[in-house]
């Protein structure tokens, strides 16, 4: 299933799944990356291996299609889905981490949105005026796009999300940080005392898939999603500046080798995930000049994965200035860091377009 190369242990790129594939995958999760780049699309020879399209990930849980973000990568996903639509019209749940351009700009090019047989439910972090539904239609006004939202043929509805389990928006109170660190030392770097309750929060159930949310740290806000289905779990957390809210924030900047202690609630949210897809836009060297821009260091994601005892980590939202060679280096450094922390079972890879991950 996996091959080892410059990008690390990944699954071989495959075509989009057919209905038969989805039926065979019942009880498992199939994850495919369609856009892995952050901030702005960066097509070209220097980025062709990891890809230059902006954020889009498709998840299939026993035939139920969940799409995370609608950056430019969603265009190619839509083309593949349209090819299979003769056998079964598209039914999709579209989740937005937030409404910045690189996460919504592909939606007007999503072919199933023009098919009257399609049913698309949209979820996001805005409610009331300015909700994701309104923002999507707004970017298709005549000033920005030649086709109106009213011209879309699909039935597009707004879905409801439950309450967020926590928020990183407020950051860490330095006065409380020692207490939080002491609590972490008492219960270890993984689960908190009483984590059983947190791990079984209700969230929202969508056709057999439970969806839980956590508010991230990003200008304008963002949402991290946890999808749970028949014992499998995938966490999608992009555009989340975890570094800004570390319990040992200042220490982590001075001593790059020291374990970076993530907020306990967020460790709990990601705990035990089969796959963590996380914002890893910057290297340790790049971050100081970009602090406050809303993105994390790749090595910080490694430390989160170790603390949360996840099985696989996919470094995501690659910086537009990072070539394939630079992403390779980022991934190798992240792998070495996991080993230094004593975590030899964690699979670390760089997210690559058109690569599928099968979770069992």
Show me where the domains of the chain are located: 16-359
pLDDT band for position 181 (cuts 50, 70, 90)? very low
What is the bridge-based pairing of β-strands 119-123 and 204-206?
unpaired
Phi, psi torsion values for 13, nearest 5 degrees: -60, 135
Q: Please, what is the average pLDDT of the chain?
A: 85
pLDDT tens, position by position, 51-78: 999 999 999 999 999 999 999 999 999 9
* 154's tokens: 């699909």
| CATH number given to 16-359 | 3.60.15.10
Q: Which of 269, 265, 268, 344 is nearest to 302 (CA)?
A: 344
- Confidence at residue 15, expressed as pLDDT on a 0 to 100 scale: 52
Is the predicted pLDDT of residue 135 greater than 60, yes or no? yes
- Confidence at residue 103, expressed as pLDDT on a 0 to 100 scale: 95
- Contacts of 324 by beta carbon, 8 Å cutoff, 6+ apart: 6, 46, 47, 48, 49, 50
Residue with the larger pLDDT of the pair 288 and 160: 288
Is the predicted pLDDT of residue 85 greater than 90, yes or no? no
Share of the chain above pLDDT 90, in %: 72
Is the predicted pLDDT of residue 22 greater than 60, yes or no? no
Paired residues of 33 in beta bridges: 57
pLDDT tens, position by position, 335-351: 999 999 999 999 999 99
Q: What is the mean pLDDT of residues 322-346?
A: 97
Q: Which of 297, 311, 164, 284 is nearest to 242 (CA)?
A: 297
- CA separation (Å) from 320 to 6, 242, 354? 19, 20, 18
Is the predicted pLDDT of residue 239 greater than 90, yes or no? yes
- Confidence at residue 184, expressed as pLDDT on a 0 to 100 scale: 38
pLDDT band for position 136 (cuts 50, 70, 90)? confident
- Confidence at residue 9, expressed as pLDDT on a 0 to 100 scale: 39
Q: Mean pLDDT lowest for which of 84-93, 147-156, 260-269, 289-298?
A: 84-93
Give the length of the chain: 360
**Three-state DSSP class for 33?**
strand
Is the predicted pLDDT of residue 130 greater than 60, yes or no? no
């Amino acid at each position: 299933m996996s091959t080892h190369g410059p990008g690390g242990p990944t699954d071989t790129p495959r075509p989009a799944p057919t209905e038969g594939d989805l039926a065979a995958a019942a009880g498992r999760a199939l994850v495919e990356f369609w856009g892995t780049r952050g901030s702005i699309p960066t097509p070209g020879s220097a980025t062709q291996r990891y890809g230059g399209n902006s954020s889009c990930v498709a998840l299939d849980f026993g035939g139920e299609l969940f799409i995370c973000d609608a950056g430019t990568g969603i265009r190619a996903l839509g083309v593949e889905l349209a090819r299979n639509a003769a056998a079964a019209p598209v039914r999709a749940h579209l989740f937005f981490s937030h409404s910045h351009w690189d996460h919504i700009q592909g939606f007007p090019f999503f072919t199933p949105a023009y098919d009257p047989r399609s049913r698309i439910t949209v979820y996001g972090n805005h409610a009331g005026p300015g909700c994701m539904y309104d923002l999507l239609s707004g970017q298709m006004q005549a000033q920005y796009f030649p086709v109106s939202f009213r011209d879309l043929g699909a039935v597009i509805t707004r879905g409801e999300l439950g309450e967020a389990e926590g928020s990183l928006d407020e950051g860490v109170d330095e006065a409380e940080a020692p207490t939080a660190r002491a609590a972490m030392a008492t219960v270890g770097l993984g689960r908190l005392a009483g984590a059983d309750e947190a791990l079984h929060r209700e969230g929202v159930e969508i056709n057999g898939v439970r969806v839980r949310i956590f508010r991230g740290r990003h200008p304008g806000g963002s949402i991290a999603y946890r999808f749970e289905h028949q014992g499998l779990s995938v966490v999608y957390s992009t555009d989340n500046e975890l570094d800004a809210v570390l319990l040992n924030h200042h220490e982590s900047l001075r001593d790059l080798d020291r374990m970076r202690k993530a907020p306990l609630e967020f460790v709990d949210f990601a705990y035990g995930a089969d796959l963590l897809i996380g914002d890893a836009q910057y290297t340790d060297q790049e971050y100081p000049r970009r602090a406050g821009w809303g993105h994390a260091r790749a090595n910080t994601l490694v430390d989160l994965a170790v603390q949360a005892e996840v099985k696989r980590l996919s470094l995501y939202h690659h910086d537009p200035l990072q070539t394939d060679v630079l992403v390779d280096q980022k991934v190798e450094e992240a792998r070495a860091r996991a080993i230094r922390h004593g975590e030899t079972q964690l699979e670390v890879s760089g997210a690559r377009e058109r690569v599928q991950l099968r979770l069992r």
